[in-house]
């Protein structure tokens, strides 16, 4: 193209064109990334501004008063914690162990292919369908009634496939040749999993589980059908107000009630409820991010 | 040689799905010898090693027939693959430092076999690292991560781990492709030293390496043995098969 060696590094029209394309491509991608942040900032900003008159520690700890038009959200807050904790206590062990089986033990046969297919499809089922299933299975068939147990189990079934998937992903990130090295020296599969695979994937597994907290905290449909109520009278700041076979309030449900069912509620209260819900979820996600960063900094290979 | 037969392979066939990659080979490995296996890619060298320590089981759709007897016991029929694998040290082409400390890397196999006595483990670790020519470089930092060692050091760590369960047979699969010539020579010297204690099968792409350290060499091509004989024959003009001569001299193909 260019016979003169002196001019090898000179900018030709072709180079300039490539540079222009590079700039255009980069600015488009950058613009899209920024556009993605904008709605988030707008939502958070709008919520906080609207909620500001009601936001206080008192709002978190107090119970709703005067037909929910005043007071706080403690029963809903503690109810959400009950539901999320119980559902994860059920779905995390089952999901993680199923993930370990599918990734470490399962051979490629028809049974495991069916299980895989079931997991993928279960993850795509809308939450309202999970809600109906929970209503039929736990509330009526298992006779748990509308209760925290029914609601938590419904949430557990909803989060299970995602926990299985994220566990498998975390396990798959441990290189195969580590396993082969262990098998070569006569380690069983379980010894390999316990000593090498799990210690090096536990961060990813935990992150996957924690991220499901935000999903179960935010869902309204499944708990509405199976165990959440509009209002339940409890003591202010009581840490153990509910029994597992009773119903409870929940933040997402409370927000829906305030916004659509209660007349004359002051505008800032639903917004403050949303802020609490959002803050709880973001706090939990932040924990997941911290764990992931810690694990990455200790990455051993 | 007249030595005792350590491994007796008879009519070994291996196929993946429906494609046969080893076509019924038979050979013997004598006790305390170094048998080199040479041959171009896809000739079944690595698959052969996988059959010997039964890690072939982990490959779906692999089907093995024939027999491999170590000390008279058929490995393809054994119920206890874990003790079988402890009988065999396996070194892979690329170094694998487990994400554990150097100490734990070597102590891994004994621990899996149920050894928990600290003194015993200390002895195994020191002994194996010394035999793998790594002890002097790492003796002051046994707690640091095995994966942070250099490539050559990691390969010696892999060898130390392969020795840690005191195997009778040591299989090395192209151990030198990822390490420098100086380290390679160190390991080769070490192999010559430990062959009095074990039987060594050395798969290698370096014909000269086979010539340097092996007693006998087997030339494997497309899943069949072209020739197996002592090094004096293989690396001379008296080979029985012309192909062997051409491959060894580098005029094959």
* Average pLDDT value for residue range B157-175: 90
Among candidates B209, B228, B207, B172, which has minimal Cα distance to B1? B228
Smallest Cβ–Cβ distance between A186 and the set B58, B97, B113 belongs to B113
Residues of chain A found within 8 Å of residue B84, distances taken between Cβ atoms: 186
Note the pLDDT of residue B252: 67
What tokens appear for B97 in the block?
């430092």
Q: Test B109 with A187 for CB contact under 8 angstroms.
A: yes
Which residue in this structure is represented by tokens 């500001």? A52
**ipTM surpassing 0.90:** no
Q: What is the pLDDT of residues B100-111, one digit of tens each?
A: 999 999 999 999
Spatial contact of B182 and B3, defined as CB atoms under 8 Å apart: no
The phi and psi torsions of A80 (rounded to 5 degrees) equal -60, -40
Among candidates A174, A202, A186, A290, which has minimal Cα distance to B147? A174
* Average pLDDT value for residue range B208-218: 91
Which residue in this structure is represented by tokens 């709880």? A280
Number of domains in chain B: 1
Residues of chain B found within 8 Å of residue A200, distances taken between Cβ atoms: 99
pLDDT at B86 over 60: yes
Residues of chain A found within 8 Å of residue B60, distances taken between Cβ atoms: 107-108
Number of domains in chain A: 1
A22 located within any domain: no
* Average pLDDT value for residue range A236-252: 83
**Min distance A156 CA to chain B CA atoms (Å):** 34
pLDDT at B248 over 90: no
* Average pLDDT value for residue range A258-266: 81
* Average pLDDT value for residue range A97-108: 90
pLDDT at B9 over 80: yes
For residue A152, give its domain range.
73-297
Beta-bridge partner residues of B208: none
Q: Tell me the three-class secondary structure of chain B, residue by residue.
A: CCCCEEEEEEEEEEEECCEEEEEEEEEEEECCCEEEEECCCCCCHHHHHHHHCCHHHHCCCEEEEEEEEECCEECCCCCCHHHHHHHEEEECCCCCCCCCEHHHHHHHHHHHCCCCCHHHHHHHHHHHHHHCCCHHHHCCCCCCEHHHCCHHHHHHHHHHHHHCCCCCEEEEECCCCCCCHHHHHHHHHHHHHHCCCCEEEEECCCHHHHHHHCCEEEEEECCEEEEEEEHHHHCCCCCCCHHHHHHHHCCCC
pLDDT at A61 over 90: no
A45 located within any domain: no
Taking CA–CA distances from B147, the nearest residue in chain A reads: A301
Smallest Cβ–Cβ distance between B99 and the set A184, A185, A200 belongs to A200
CA distances from A221 to A155, A247, A282, B100, B231 (A): 10, 15, 21, 46, 77
3-state secondary structure of A111: helix
For residue B41, give its domain range.
5-249
What DSSP character marks residue A52? T
Note the pLDDT of residue A301: 67
Asked if B92 reaches chain A (Cβ–Cβ under 8 Å), the answer is yes
What DSSP character marks residue A174? S
pLDDT at A246 over 50: yes
What's B217's domain CATH number? 3.40.50.300
Q: Test B98 with A196 for CB contact under 8 angstroms.
A: yes
Taking CA–CA distances from A198, the nearest residue in chain B reads: B99
What's A256's domain CATH number? 1.10.3720.10
Q: How confident is the model at residue B37 (pLDDT cuts 50, 70, 90)?
A: very high
pLDDT at B196 over 60: yes
Note the pLDDT of residue B2: 55
Note the pLDDT of residue A4: 59
A168 exposure class (CB count in 10 Å sphere: 0-12, 13-18, 19+) = buried
Smallest Cβ–Cβ distance between A186 and the set B96, B109, B147 belongs to B109
A33 located within any domain: no
The mean-pLDDT minimum among A52-66, A79-93, A163-177, B233-247 falls in A52-66
pLDDT at A192 over 90: yes
Note the pLDDT of residue A7: 66
Query: How much is the CA Rg of chain A, to the nearest whole Å?
Result: 25
Task: Suggest the residue from B112, B115, B173 to mutate for an interface test with chain A (most A CBs closer than 10 A).
Answer: B112
Beta-bridge partner residues of B5: B30
Which residue in this structure is represented by tokens 């051993």? A300
Among candidates A99, A125, A96, which has minimal Cα distance to A112? A99
A52 located within any domain: no
The mean-pLDDT minimum among A101-115, A221-235, B46-60 falls in A221-235
Q: What is the pLDDT of residues A23-36, one digit of tens each?
A: 999 999 999 999 99
Residues of chain A found within 8 Å of residue B90, distances taken between Cβ atoms: 184-185
**In whole angstroms, what is the distance from residue B115 CA to residue B117 CA?**
6
**Min distance A122 CA to chain B CA atoms (Å):** 27
Q: What is the pLDDT of residues B90-138, one digit of tens each?
A: 998 888 888 899 999 999 999 988 888 899 999 999 999 988 888 888 8
Spatial contact of A226 and A158, defined as CB atoms under 8 Å apart: no
- As a whole number, the mean pLDDT across chain B is 88
**Min distance A301 CA to chain B CA atoms (Å):** 5
Note the pLDDT of residue B1: 47
Which residue in this structure is represented by tokens 């990813």? A204
* Average pLDDT value for residue range B244-250: 85
**Min distance A180 CA to chain B CA atoms (Å):** 8
A12 located within any domain: no
Taking CA–CA distances from B144, the nearest residue in chain A reads: A300
Smallest Cβ–Cβ distance between A185 and the set B99, B147, B164 belongs to B164
Note the pLDDT of residue B72: 87
Note the pLDDT of residue A97: 94
Q: Test A181 with B161 for CB contact under 8 angstroms.
A: yes
**In whole angstroms, what is the distance from residue A220 CA to residue A274 CA?**
13
Note the pLDDT of residue B39: 87
What tokens appear for A198 in the block?
């799990």
* Average pLDDT value for residue range A146-156: 90
Note the pLDDT of residue A31: 95
Q: Is the pTM of this model over 0.90?
A: no
Provide the residue count of chain A.
301
What tokens appear for B166 in the block?
């005191």
Smallest Cβ–Cβ distance between A301 and the set B83, B99, B108 belongs to B99
Count of CB atoms situated within 10 Å of the CB of A196: 21
pLDDT at B200 over 90: yes
**In whole angstroms, what is the distance from residue A214 CA to residue A124 CA?**
17
Note the pLDDT of residue A11: 80
Query: How much is the CA Rg of chain B, to the nearest whole Å?
Result: 18
Count of CB atoms situated within 10 Å of the CB of A167: 25
What tokens appear for A151 in the block?
């609601």
Q: What is the pLDDT of residues A126-147, one digit of tens each?
A: 889 999 998 988 888 888 888 8
**Min distance B91 CA to chain A CA atoms (Å):** 8
């Amino acid at each position: 193209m260019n016979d003169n060696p002196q001019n090898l590094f000179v900018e030709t029209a072709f180079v300039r064109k490539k540079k222009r394309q590079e700039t255009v491509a980069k600015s488009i991608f950058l613009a899209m990334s920024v556009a993605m942040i904008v709605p988030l900032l707008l939502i958070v900003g709008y919520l906080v501004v609207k909620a500001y008159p009601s936001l206080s520690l008192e709002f978190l700890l107090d119970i709703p008063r005067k037909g929910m038009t005043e007071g706080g959200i403690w029963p809903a807050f503690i109810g959400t914690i009950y539901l999320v904790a119980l559902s994860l206590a059920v779905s995390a062990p089952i999901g993680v162990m199923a993930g370990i089986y599918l990734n470490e033990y399962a051979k490629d046969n028809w049974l495991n292919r069916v299980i895989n297919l079931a997991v993928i499809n279960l993850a795509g089922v809308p939450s309202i369908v999970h809600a109906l299933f929970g209503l039929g299975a736990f509330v009526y068939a298992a006779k748990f009634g509308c209760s925290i147990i029914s609601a938590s189990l419904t949430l557990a079934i909803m989060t299970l496939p995602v926990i299985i998937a994220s566990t498998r992903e975390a396990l798959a990130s441990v290189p195969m040749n580590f396993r082969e090295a262990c098998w070569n020296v006569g380690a069983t599969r379980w010894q390999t999993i316990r000593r090498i695979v799990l210690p090096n994937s536990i961060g990813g597994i935990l992150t996957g589980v924690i991220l499901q907290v935000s999903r179960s905290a935010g869902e309204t449909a499944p708990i509405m059908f199976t165990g959440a109520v509009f209002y339940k009278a409890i003591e202010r700041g009581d840490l153990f107000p509910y029994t597992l076979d009773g119903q409870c309030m929940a933040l997402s449900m409370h927000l829906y009630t305030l916004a659509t069912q209660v007349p004359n509620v002051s505008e800032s209260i639903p917004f403050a409820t949303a802020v609490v819900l959002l803050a709880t979820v973001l706090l939990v996600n932040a924990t997941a991010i911290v764990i992931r960063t810690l694990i990455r900094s200790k990455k051993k290979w | 040689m007249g030595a005792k037969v350590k491994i007796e392979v008879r009519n070994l066939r291996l196929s993946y799905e429906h494609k046969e990659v080893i076509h019924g080979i038979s050979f013997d490995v004598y006790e305390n010898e170094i048998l080199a296996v040479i041959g171009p890619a896809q000739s079944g060298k690595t698959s052969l090693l996988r059959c010997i320590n039964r890690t072939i089981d982990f490959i779906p759709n692999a089907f093995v027939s024939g027999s491999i007897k170590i000390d008279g016991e058929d490995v393809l029929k054994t119920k206890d693959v874990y003790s079988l694998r402890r009988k065999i040290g396996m070194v892979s082409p690329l170094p694998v430092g487990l994400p554990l400390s150097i100490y734990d890397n070597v102590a891994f196999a004994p621990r899996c076999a149920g050894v928990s006595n600290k003194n015993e483990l200390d002895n195994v670790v020191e002994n194996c690292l010394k035999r793998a020519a790594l002890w002097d470089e790492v003796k002051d930092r046994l707690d640091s991560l095995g994966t942070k060692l250099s490539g050559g050091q990691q390969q010696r760590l892999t060898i130390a781990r392969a020795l840690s369960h005191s195997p009778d047979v040591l299989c090395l699969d192209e151990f030198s492709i990822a390490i420098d010539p100086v380290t390679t020579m160190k390991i080769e010297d070490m192999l010559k030293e430990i062959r009095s204690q074990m039987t060594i099968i050395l798969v290698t792409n370096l014909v000269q390496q086979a010539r340097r350290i092996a007693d006998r060499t087997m030339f494997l091509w497309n899943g069949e043995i072209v020739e197996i004989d002592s090094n004096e024959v293989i690396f001379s003009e008296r080979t029985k098969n012309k192909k062997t001569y051409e491959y060894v001299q580098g005029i094959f193909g």
